[in-house]
Amino acid sequence: MTASVRLDGDQLIGTRLLDADPELVWEMFTTAEHLAAFWGGDHATVPPDSVTVDLHVGGTVELETRSPDGASRLLRFEYTAVEPPARLVLLESRTGLVTEITLRPSGTGTEVLVHQRRLPPELRSEQARAGLAGVLDRLAAVVETQNPIEGTR
């Protein structure tokens, strides 16, 4: 199965089922090593040394994405909710973009829901939709390497 992502006005909503428990998926979203492995999806890379995670309300996560053409972008989010292993809310203060990540047990795995609100106009695009789908599908591939017996849906 692949990610399902839809654009709805100034919101981007993506879901993906993973054959892993919520604790493992939580680790993927909250550790620098794992974020670097999947965050760029198939459209960018994230240098591992560019990722910092200060996981608490008011803390930040920062990372740099690099596209194939060499362009780089520094992303910085503030945690506004940290509820292990079920929910993270991140605010990108420059644009006001809010990203809520919800992890729900589903059968033997986890449903990942990423809901981005207040998308700036430049992110209300097919490219952004495909980008989030790529990130969620890359997450599934990384989870599979951490959980090889279960595989990925």
Question: How is domain 4-146 classified at the architecture level of CATH?
Answer: 2-Layer Sandwich (3.30)
Interval 61-83 mean pLDDT: 95
* Residue 138 pLDDT: 96
Q: What is the pLDDT of residue 98?
A: 98
Cβ within 8 Å of residue 132, ≥6 positions away: 3, 5, 12, 14, 41, 114, 116
Residue 41, pLDDT score: 87
What is the model's pLDDT at position 76? 97
- H/E element, 8: strand 4-8
pTM above 0.75, yes or no: yes
Model confidence pLDDT, tens digit, residues 23-64? 999 999 999 999 999 998 888 999 999 999 999 999 999 999
